[in-house]
Amino acid sequence: MLRIKPISFKIKLTLLMLGITLALGISIFYIVYVSNAKTLEVQITRRLEGMAQITIDAIDRMLYERFTNISLIASDPIISSRISSPELLTKRLIEYRNVYKTYASLSFFDLNRIRIADTSMMHLGRQHAAVQWSKDAIDNKRVSIASDIRLAEDLKIIVIYFASPVKDKNGNVFGVVVARMPIGKLYDITGKAAGIHGEDTSVDLVDKNGLLLFSGYNRKGILKENFDEWETIEKSMMNKKVGSIRRYSHHMGLKEENITVFANEEGYQDFKGNGWTLIMHIPTAKAFAPAVELRDRVIAVSLPIIIFSIFIVLFFANSVVKPIIQLRDAAAEVGRGNLGIELKIKSRDEIGELTDSFNKMSKSLQETTVSRDYVDNIVRSMAETLIVASLDGAIKTANRSALKLLGYREEELVGKPVNMIFTAEERLFKEYDLNNLIKIDSIRDTEKIYVAKNRRKIPVLFSAAILSDNNGMPQGIVCVAQDITEIKSANERLQKFSNELQRSNKELEQFAYIASHDLQEPLRKIKAFGERLKAKISNALDAQNRDYLERMQNAAERMEGLINGLLTFSRVTTSAQLFVSVDLKKVVQDVISDLEVRLEQTHGCIEADTLPVIDADPLQMRQLFQNLLSNALKFHKKNEPPLVKVYSSLLKGMADKALSNNEFCQIIVEDNGIGFDEKYLDRIFGVFQRLHSRSEYEGTGIGLAVCRKIVERHGGTITAKSSVGQGAMFIVGLPVKQKGGKI
C-alpha cells in the first residue's frame, strides 16, 4: 500500500502565512476602494463638527468668564454702595480694569443711563441711548452678556458689551456696571477653527433670530444684517447640538460644493448661553482632500507591499520553524528527567519569550523543594493564627502564631479534631455543617472563642474558607483568626466609662435643679426683709445708707435672675417632654404675640416666613424662639428700629449627624442689630457669658446656652454669623423626624 508522506510543519506554516498575506492584501485593496473613502469622510466630518463644538464651547467659557467678572465687579462693596463718590467709583473701576486686562473700558451708569464714572473719564454726565444692555440690566434686572456688538465711537474699535445691575445692601437696583471688550477676543477663538483649511474657511456667528453677530468675511456688518442661509441651516439643526450639511454655492462664477458645519451654544456652568450658533463653511474638495490623498497613497503602496510580504513570509517561516524544533527536542529531554537544560536561542520575539519561559521552568523544577520551604516559612511567620483542617475536621497544619496563642506544641495539635480548640458552644461545625460550609464557600469575620491548652478562653475574630484543588474539588478547611482580647477589653472599659458619664451627668443635672430650688428660699427672705427694712427706716437713713440698701436689693434681684437661669438650663433635660409634631410657624407666631409690648417699645418688626412642621418638644421650641427673638430685639441699634427675619430651608442629611438619611430643616433668625465679633462665637453660647455690661443690656447671659442645649437635645446644631455693627444671623439645624420618645 502506497503511503503518502505527511506535509511538514514548515510547508504548512508557509502556505498559511502566504494565504493570510494574500487575503490581507485583497482585503486592504477592497477596503480602500469600497469603504475607506466614505469612512474617512465621516471621520473628517466628525472632526470638523468637533472643532465647531470646541470653538463654540470656548466662546461659552469666554462669555462665562465675562459673566463672572461683571457680576463680581457689580457686587464690590464700593461699587454697590450708594454713598460712593464718582471719583471713588472711577478709581475702583480702574483697579478692576488693570486686573481684567480683557476690557477696553469699565463704566458706571445710574438708572437714567447717565454715565457717572468711567475708566476713560470721558462723556461723564451724558445720557446713553436705550440699547439692549440697558433693557436687560435696568428693566429686567439681570446680567446682560454680549447683548450688543458694535463700533465704539470713543474707542474707535468694535466692542462687545457686558452689563450687570448693581444692588445696594437691601437688594434694590440703583445702577449698572458696563464693560466693553474688543471683538479681537472672538477673532482669536474663531481664528483657530478657521486656520484648519486656511483662507477657504469662513466662520460666522449667528444669534437665535438669524442675525449676524460676527463674520470672518464681513467685520463691518455686525448686528446690521440677517444671515442669508439661516432658514436652511435652522431646518437642518432640528434641536441638534452639532451637525453638518452639504450644499452648492456659486463662487466667482463657478458652482462649488461646500460642507457647512454648525454647533449650537449650550452655556457654561451658571451662564445659560445666548442661543448663538457657530457656522463654518469649507469647500468639500478642500475639507476632504486628506481622505482622497490617503486613498490614492494606499492604492499605490498596497501592491508592492503584498509582493514584498511574500518574500518576507518565506524568510520568517524558516526562522520560526528552526527554534520550534529545538524547543521540541529540549522538552523531550526534560520529559526523560534531564532537568536544568538551557537553550541558547537568541530571539526577541515570542519565540524568545517562549525560550526564556522554558529555561525558567527547567530551573524552577530543580528548586521545587526550596520553594516549598519558602512558602512554609511565610505561613509560619504570619501574625494571624492559621490552622488547616481536613474535611473530616482533623488538624493538618498550624502556624507559629496559632501554636503560641493556644499554648500547644505542633505535635500536640496535628491530627487532633479542630473542635478541641473551640468551646462547646463555639464548635466549628455546630452552626455550619460541612455541606453548608462548602455551599457558602467561607465564613468571614465571625466572633468566636478559642480554648487554649491551659483552658483560658480567648476571643478571636474568626474566618474560614474551603481549600479547593485546581478542579474545584474541596480538599480541606483554612481557618484564620485574630486575637481580639485587648479590643474587647477596651470596648468594655469604654462602655463602663460611658455609663459612668451618663450617671454623672444625671447627678449634676439633679444637683443644679435642687441647688436652684434650695437657693430660692433664703433669697426670697433677703428680698422680703430688705423691702421691710426699706419701708420702715428708709426715711431715717442718709443717702449713703440708702444707696447700700438699694445695692443689696439689686444684688438679690440679680442673684434671683441667675438662679432662675440656672434652673431653666437644668430643666432642658430634667423636664423634657416627649417629641410630638410641632408647627414651628405657629410657635413663632405665639412668641411674637408674647413680645408685642417689647415690639411697641422698640418700634420693631418681626417677619416670619413659612416654617416646617417637625418632631420636637413644643415647650422647648417655644423657649428656643423666645430666647432668639428676645435677643434680636434686645441688642438693637439705638438709632434704628429692630428688624428681625425668620425663614427656613430643607437640607438632605448633615455631615456630622447619625441620622445621615434624615431630612433636616435649617432655620435662620436674622437681625439688623449691633452684631458681634465672630471671635467670640464660642463664648456667646456658654453659661453666664456676656459680651456687654449689665448697664448697657439687661440679662443673665444664659439664654443662648439654653438654646444650644435645646438644639443638641433634638439632635441638631446651632451657630451664628455676624460682624460688629452689621447685625447677626443665628442658624439652627433640626431634624424633621425624630426616632420618638424623650431624650
- Reading phi first (left if > 0) and then psi (alpha if -120 to 50, else beta), residue 171 is in left
**Computed over its alpha carbons, how large is the radius of gyration of the chain?**
44
Q: What is the mean pLDDT of residues 417-422?
A: 85
CB burial of 374-383 (b: ≥16 within 10 Å; e: otherwise) equals eeeeeebeee
Quick check: is 306 in a domain? no
Q: Lowest-confidence range among 380-394, 637-651, 693-707?
A: 693-707
Query: Cα dihedral sign for 206, 209, 211, 213?
Result: negative
Residue 106 clears pLDDT 90, i.e. is over it: yes
Cα 448 from Cα 461, distance rounded (Å): 6
State which amino acid sits at residue 577: Q
Model confidence at 289, pLDDT cuts 50, 70, 90, reads: low
In this predicted structure, the answer to whether residue 655 has a pLDDT above a threshold of 50 is no
90 and 78 Cβ atoms separated by less than 8 Å: no
225-240 residue pLDDT tens: 777 777 777 777 766 7
Assess whether pLDDT exceeds 50 at residue 424. Answer: yes
Please give the pLDDT value at position 43: 76
Residue 211 — pLDDT band, cuts 50, 70, 90?
Answer: confident
**pLDDT winner (highest mean) among 74-78, 463-467, 614-618, 630-634:** 74-78
Check if the beta carbon of residue 520 is closer than 8 Å to that of residue 584: no
Distance between CA atoms of 687 and 703, rounded to whole angstroms?
8
* Average pLDDT of span 101-108: 91
Is it the case that residue 345 has pLDDT exceeding 80? no
Match 439645624 to its residue by C-alpha cell: 733
Same-domain status, 555 and 469: no
Helix (H) or strand (E) holding 558: helix 543-574
Q: How far is CA 737 from CA 14, 161, 573, 730, in A?
A: 79, 51, 19, 22
pLDDT band at 177 (very low <50, low <70, confident <90, very high): very high
Distance separating alpha carbons of residues 80 and 72, to the nearest angstrom: 11
When pLDDT is cut at 50, 70 and 90, the band that residue 72 belongs to is very high
Q: Are residues 500 and 643 in the same domain?
A: no
Helices (runs of H) and strands (runs of E) counted in the chain: 21, 22
User: Is there a single domain that holds both residue 684 and residue 698?
Assistant: yes
Q: What pLDDT was estimated at residue 317?
A: 65
Please give the grid coordinates belonging to residue 633: 430685639
What CA–CA distance (Å, rounded) separates 128 from 178? 11
Domain of residue 609, CATH code? 3.30.565.10
Residue 581 and residue 728 in one domain: yes
Q: Assign 98 a pLDDT band (cuts: 50, 70, 90).
A: very high
Does any domain span residue 540?
yes
pLDDT, one tens digit per residue, over 431-459 is 555 666 666 767 787 888 888 889 888 89
Q: How many domains does the chain have?
A: 4
Distance CA 181, CA 157 (A): 10
Task: Please identify, among 441, 457, 483, the residue that sits at the C-terminal boundary of a domain.
Answer: 483
Q: Is residue 532 located within the same domain as residue 608? A: no
Which CATH number is 162's domain given? 3.30.450.20
Question: Residue 124 has what DSSP assignment?
Answer: T
In one-letter notation, the amino acid at residue 270 is D
Among 80-89, 167-176, 360-369, 643-652, which is the least confidently predicted range?
360-369
Q: Which pLDDT tens digit goes with each residue over 568-580?
A: 655 555 555 678 8
Residue 304 has pLDDT above 60, yes or no: yes
Q: How far is CA 140 from the centre of its chain?
A: 33
Residue 657's pLDDT is 42
SS (H, E, C) 313-373: HHHHHHHHHHHHHHHHHHHHHHHCCCCCCCCCCCCCCHHHHHHHHHHHHHHHHHCHHHHHH
Burial of 632 (0-12, 13-18, 19+ CB in 10 A): buried
Confirm whether 615 is domain-assigned: yes
- Report the pLDDT value the prediction gives residue 261, as an integer from 0 to 100: 82
pLDDT bin (cut points 50, 70, 90) of residue 109 is very high
Is residue 552 in a domain? yes
Question: pLDDT tens-digit profile of 4-40?
Answer: 556 666 666 677 777 777 777 667 666 665 566 677 6
Instruction: Write down the pTM of the prediction.
Output: 0.38
pLDDT score recorded for residue 374: 61
- Domain that includes residue 171, residue range: 75-182
- CA torsion 145-150-154-155 (nearest 10°) is 80
Torsion of CA 98, 104, 105, 111, to 10 degrees: -130
pLDDT of residue 74: 92
pLDDT, tens only, 459-515: 988 888 888 877 778 888 888 898 888 888 888 888 888 777 777 667 666 666 665
Given a contact cutoff of 8 angstroms between Cβ atoms, the answer to whether 354 and 327 are in contact is yes
- In this structure, the answer to whether residues 493 and 479 fall within a common structural domain is no
**For residue 457, which of 437, 485, 481 has the smallest C-alpha distance?**
485
Q: Is the dihedral of CA 703, 706, 707, 708 positive or negative?
A: positive
Q: Is residue 317 included in any domain, yes or no? A: no
Residues linked to residue 250 through DSSP beta bridges, in sequence order? 255
Confirm whether 357 is domain-assigned: no
State the pairing for strand pair 643-652/605-608.
parallel
Q: Give the model's pLDDT for residue 111.
A: 92
- Residue 113 resides in a domain: yes
Cell matching residue 477: 478547611
Band of pLDDT at residue 268, cut at 50, 70 and 90: confident
Return the HEC string of 238-274: CCCCEEEEEEEEEECCEEEEEEEEEEECCCECCECCC
Last residue of some domain: 182, 208, 223?
A: 182
Examine the domain organization and report whether 644 and 669 are in the same domain.
Answer: yes
Residue 103 in contact with residue 91, Cβ under 8 Å?
no
Q: Is the pLDDT of residue 1 over 60?
A: no
Percent of the chain with pLDDT strictly greater than 90: 12
Residues 501 and 598 in one domain: no
Examine the domain organization and report whether 526 and 470 are in the same domain. no
Let me know if residue 655 belongs to a domain.
Answer: yes
CB 398 within 8 A of CB 387: yes
Q: Rounded to 5 degrees, what are φ and ψ at 181?
A: -115, 130
Distance CA 225, CA 105 (A): 27
Are residues 506 and 585 located together in one domain of the fold?
A: no
Last residue of one domain, picked from the residues 483, 511, 528: 483
pLDDT reading at 152 higher than 50? yes
Query: Over 50: is that where the pLDDT of 47 sits?
Result: yes
Angle at which helix 703-713 crosses helix 618-634, to 10 degrees, equals 150
| Same domain assignment for residues 583 and 726 | yes
Give the mean pLDDT of the chain: 77
138-143 mean pLDDT: 90
- 470 shares a domain with 384: yes
